[in-house]
Amino acid sequence: MSRCAFVVWHGQRKFTFKPNEGEEHNIASVGLPGNIVVFMARSRPERDMWVMALGQEINRHASTVGEKLSIY
């Protein structure tokens, strides 16, 4: 049985990025301090299932708060 890990990182600081006039995005920079949570899955399919489920919940929460979030 192989184990797969994945990490959820939430940056403490956000920066404003303006790609076009009138368009604004708040982004967190990788490498800065933040909260890190490491998850272990029993297999790649289980890891993929968890990552997809977490992504859906983050997007659902962001839509109720009115923020745009990026998930990589």
Which of the two residues, 36 and 15, has the higher pLDDT score? Answer: 36
Whether residue 54 is contained in a domain is answered as yes
Confirm whether 13 is domain-assigned.
Answer: yes
Residue 43: give the domain boundaries.
4-65
25 within a domain of the structure (yes/no)? yes
pLDDT range class, residue 14, cuts 50, 70, 90: low
Residue 19 lies in a domain: yes
Q: Please state, rounded to an integer, the average pLDDT across all residues of the chain.
A: 76
How many domains does the structure of the chain reveal? Answer: 1
Helices (H), the chain: 44-65
Q: Which residue has the higher pLDDT, 3 or 70?
A: 3
CA distance 32 to 30: 6
- When pLDDT is averaged across residues 30-58 and rounded to a whole number, the result is 86
Give the predicted TM-score (pTM) of the model: 0.59
Nearest one of 19, 35, 38 to 27, comparing CA atoms = 19
